Amino acid sequence: MHKVNLIPFLILFILVGCKDQKEKEISKIKLQYDFIAFHRAFYSADKTGLISLKKSYPYLFPSDVSNNEWLAKIEDSNEKILFKITDSVFKNLSNIEHHTYKLYQHIKYYKPSFTPPKTLLLINGLDYENAVIYADSLAFISLDLYLGANSDVYADFPEYLSSNFTENNITVDLAKEIIQREFPIYRDRSLLGSMLYYGKKLYITEQLIPKVKENILLGFSKSKLQWSRENETQIWMYFMRNELLFSTDPSLNKRFIDIAPFSKFYLDSDRESPGSIGSYIGLQIIRSYMEYNDVSLDKMIATDTDEIFKNSRYKPSK
């Protein structure tokens, strides 16, 4: 008679049950914080309304900018167009508010001392380097950076950037900014250290947004994520064969870590790769480490590069 090994199925059943129980606990966490559509209040303000806004939100109005300059900004034709487009895309803000609340619940679960920040929605002149800002008690989300990858507004942006300007990226970007402050991670100077730094950050983001799609998490297109999966073994062998993992050459971060249209192996296939492929490999190593080691999230964050590398048992599938 053919014997069926039930142990793997039992382990999977236990893991799924534990995950479901954890999510039930998280869903019961009650939070209070302000969620403010500041962009609507600002672009509908007259002189009196502007004075009121400045009193309510002084941190958004530098003292060296006059009221006349703010009113000119409100009346500027390009500003009006950008506001109109943004407001038409985000007519209903309940979806953003819901996902923000769920994110804050998860952060509170893993870090009980966390206090949800007052969260303000802005239009920030397409400043993609500051799409989300988190400053302890305040969080700012620039809605004009999430209008959809194919929005005409982004016609002058390179595709590797604009492909992530979608509503689905808002919560991920917010999570990553909060992680930067609330879950500080040490980063050593080696390429592997950088890979694991971003791998840890991505893994934490997965825990805070359990249903996030992997391409959104990584900021890859679906085709470039598929390329990464199909070539994972070759990528790892390239790093090993060229003895790059423990190198502290700063140029390696530019080639494999920094946001870019593609990674630089100096091969004909480079353009098929995503930028920051090192972050993808780092995430796979951290996932493997967490699978084979019974440690808390805090313990994983505090574990150094060498120990994670040694105990991860990471081996990409052929």
- pLDDT at position 1 is 46
Q: What is the domain extent for residue 269?
A: 191-311
Q: Is 98 a domain residue?
A: yes
Burial 95-108 (b: 16+ CB within 10 A, else e): ebeebbbbbbbbbb
Nearest 10 degrees: Cα torsion 256, 262, 265, 269: 150
Indicate whether 16 pLDDT > 80: no
My answer on whether 159 and 234 are in the same domain is: no
CA–CA separation, 302 vs 288, rounded Å? Answer: 16
Domain C-terminal end among 160, 182, 204: 182
How buried is residue 141: exposed, middle or buried, by Cβ count under 10 Å (0-12/13-18/19+)? buried
What is the overall mean pLDDT for the chain? 94
Asked if residue 10 is part of any domain, the answer here is no
CA contacts within 13 A on the Cβ side of 210: 12
pLDDT number for residue 3: 52
Q: Are residues 208 and 306 located together in one domain of the fold?
A: yes
Whether residues 214 and 121 share a domain: the answer is no
- 134 three-class SS: strand
147 and 95 part of one domain: yes
Whether 26 is in a domain gets the answer no
Q: Per-residue confidence at 237, pLDDT binned at 50, 70, 90?
A: very high
* Residue 260 and residue 126 share a domain: no
Counting the structural domains of the chain, the total is 2
Please give the single-letter amino acid code of residue 220: F
Residues 55 and 178 in one domain: yes
* Average pLDDT estimate for 108-122: 98
Computed from CA positions of residues 63, 65, 68, 69, in that sequence, does the dihedral angle turn out positive or negative? negative
Mean pLDDT along residues 99-124: 98
* Mean pLDDT along residues 221-237: 97
Same domain, 153 and 208: no
- Residue pair 275/265 in contact by the 8 Å Cβ criterion: no
Same domain for 203 and 296?
yes
pLDDT at 298 over 50: yes
Over 80: is that where the pLDDT of 119 sits?
A: yes
Report CA torsion sign: 280, 111, 59, 57.
Answer: positive
The residue that leads in pLDDT, 24 or 3, is 24
pTM: 0.92
Q: Say if residue 239 is in the same domain as residue 111.
A: no
pLDDT of amino acid 6: 58
Which residue, among 272, 180, 259, has the nearest Cα to 224 in the 3D structure?
Answer: 272
* 151 lies in the same domain as 221: no
pLDDT of residue 281 exceeding 90, the answer is yes
Residue 250 lies in a domain: yes
Q: Evaluate whether residue 261 is within a structural domain.
A: yes
29 in a structural domain: no
11 in any annotated domain: no
Q: Are residues 231 and 172 in the same domain?
A: no
Residue % of the chain over a pLDDT of 90: 93
Q: What percent of the chain has pLDDT over 70?
A: 94
pLDDT, tens digit, 9 for 90 and up, residues 38-69? 999 999 999 999 999 999 999 999 999 999 99
Q: Of 182, 199, 231, which one is at a domain's C-terminal end?
A: 182
Mean pLDDT of 146-174: 97
C-alpha dihedral, 155 to 157 to 162 to 167, nearest 10°? -70
Same domain, 52 and 178: yes
From 143, 158, 182, the end of a domain falls on 182
Element (H, E) at 119: strand 118-122
